[in-house]
Homo-oligomer: A and B are copies of this chain.
Amino acid sequence: MLHQTQIQTRKPLSINPTPKQNLDSPLEMMGSQMRFGRNVEIYGEGEPAEYLYKVVSGAVRTYKVLADGRRQIGAFYLPGDIFGLEAGDEHAFSAETVSDSQVLVIKRSAVMDLAARDSGVAQQLWTVTGRELQRAQDHVMLLIKSAQERVAGFLVEMAKRAPGASTIQLAMSRQDIADYLGLTIETISRTLTQFEKSAAIALPTSRQIEIRNRAALARLNS
């Protein structure tokens, strides 16, 4: 289920001169860059974690599907983010692109070998997993809140991760957001229009969200 999948070459990439996670330098050297189309699987849950990945452009989601078909999205990964790094040797989630994406693919065994010799690299691996843990813990804290609070929390999170821009560009659909927040698309939509009516945000298009009153959103983020 690996990367035989990449499709067309689309726009010439302007490589994001991504601010680093120190793991960068060694990793950049060990990986090769691949291009994936939209909604393309990168790996599946339970597969051996032979590679780890870094988003260069686009966006990636990880998810699980329950027996009855409900899908839970574990995280969204944006340019600069590392995903697919497992402490065990199987992928805990499936991963697929949200939009056309370029991804740096790095052989896990190479990184592990390096880490065994270089305690600095080992510590960086640990740090990446630690960040992932924090993300999951924050996710737990989101999921116990009301719909308003979840959506507000999501917006604040996305705003934080998007570089300075006052308008958030959403790579993902309402369904993706719903599956991340444990809500339905209808609730996402209604909550956003409610925020718009209360002037906390503006919605130039359905995928662009301008934060007008961050304090109001943060206040919901109790």
Contact = CB atoms under 8 A, between A and B. Distances in A.
B133 A87 contact: yes
A64 interface: yes
17 contacts: A66-B141, A66-B145, A66-B222, A72-B140, A72-B141, A86-B130, A87-B127, A87-B131, A87-B134, A115-B123, A116-B119, A122-B126, A126-B126, A133-B136, A136-B140, A140-B140, A140-B143
Given A140-B143, A143-B182, 20 more contacts: A64-B141, A68-B222, A72-B141, A74-B140, A87-B129, A87-B131, A87-B133, A93-B137, A115-B119, A115-B123, A116-B119, A116-B123, A119-B119, A126-B126, A129-B129, A129-B133, A136-B136, A136-B140, A139-B140, A143-B144
A35 B68 CA distance: 45
Interface string A181-222: 010000000000000000000000000000000000000001
Interface in A65-123: 66-68, 70, 72, 74, 86-88, 92-93, 115-117, 119, 122-123
A24 interface: no
A125 interface: yes
Interface of A: 64, 66-68, 70, 72, 74, 86-88, 92-93, 115-117, 119, 122-123, 125-127, 129-134, 136-137, 139-141, 143-145, 182, 222
Number of copies: 2
Nearest to A68: B222
A138 B70 CA distance: 15
Contacts of A131: 87
Chain B CB count within 10 A is highest, among A64, A86, A136, for A136
Nearest to A112: B123
Nearest to A64: B141
A135 to B, nearest CB: 9
A137 B136 contact: yes
Contacts of A119: 115-117, 119, 122
